Amino acid sequence: MTDKPDAARFAHVREWVFDLDNTLYPHHSNLFAQIDVRMTRYVSELLSLPREEARRLQKALYKEYGTTLRGLMERHAIDPDDFLEKVHDIDYSWIDPDPALGEAIRALPGRKFIFTNGDRGHAERTARQLGILDHFDDIFDIVAAGLQPKPARETYDKFLALHRVAGPDAVMFEDLARNLAVPKALGMTTVLIVPRNLEPTFSEIWESDPDHTDDVDYVTDDLAGFLNALAAPRAAEKS
């Protein structure tokens, strides 16, 4: 499922910004499922709640505050470092290396960034397992964002100011449409990454963001294929 990109609409792009979880690696790899389980466990142990009650609270915090971490900080003044260390203590071997994606990212003109609501360590370990870490210029994580997650406008402003990125020169790839609303308003081209064949879990309303369809320029379930389609005209010109 891919909106075929018009390469001409990307000819000006020199800043390539990628979300991490369920964007640079496919939804079906279930890496984030491990993090999700650990977040539920953290809430359960912190508040002495049964698992199902803890999970309901976790999702409520996610919807209200943008991340479970932010919600727990606001309501319970938790130590963010402790939370990030525990929820990212996962098995990264669940991800298969993706040399095709690495080559597609390497071939893009300009700078490439990972922009994540996770922390830098998690982003580095994930990208290293994928075999793509060396293709990025930098990682902008939740710590660099002052622990204020996407989709807060101030978080995008911090990223743009830190790296001197102009919105009209940039494209953002995300798996949550609500996280594309601000980039769209800033003039960025926006690409929504969806699960392969729209797996059933994507139907959960807190993920699918039906109210933000106007903020999405393109939709794809094949990131490497999408990027290769952009590179094809340039390759043809050189041959």
CA distance 204 to 220: 18
Confidence of residue 83 (pLDDT cuts 50, 70, 90): very high
Judged against a pLDDT cut of 50, whether residue 154 lies above it is answered with: yes
Judged against a pLDDT cut of 70, whether residue 217 lies above it is answered with: yes
**Which tens digit of pLDDT belongs to each residue from 94-138?**
899 999 999 999 999 999 999 999 999 999 999 999 999 999 999
Proportion of the chain above pLDDT 70, given as a percent: 89
How much is the mean pLDDT over the chain? Answer: 90
* CATH pick for 7-27+96-238 out of 3.40.50.1000, 3.10.20.90, 1.10.10.10, 3.60.15.10: 3.40.50.1000
The region of weakest confidence among 6-10, 131-135, 163-167 is: 6-10
> What is the structure's pLDDT at 236?
47
> What is the structure's pLDDT at 203?
42
Residue ranges of E strands in 14-153: 15-18, 111-115, 138-140
> What is the structure's pLDDT at 202?
44
**Which tens digit of pLDDT belongs to each residue from 15-68?**
999 999 999 998 888 888 899 999 999 999 999 999 999 999 999 999 899 899
Evaluate if pTM is beyond 0.85: yes
> What is the structure's pLDDT at 206?
41
Domain with CATH 1.10.150.450 in the chain: 31-87
Domain with CATH 3.40.50.1000 in the chain: 7-27+96-238
> What is the structure's pLDDT at 151?
93
Could you confirm whether domain 31-87 is CATH 1.10.10.10?
no
> What is the structure's pLDDT at 108?
95
Helix residue ranges, H only, 164-201? 181-185
Closest CA to 223 of 168, 150, 173: 173
- Structure-model confidence comparison of residues 63 and 198, the more confident one: 63
Judged against a pLDDT cut of 70, whether residue 1 lies above it is answered with: no
CA distance 67 to 61: 7
- How many CB atoms are closer than 10 A to CB 224? 16
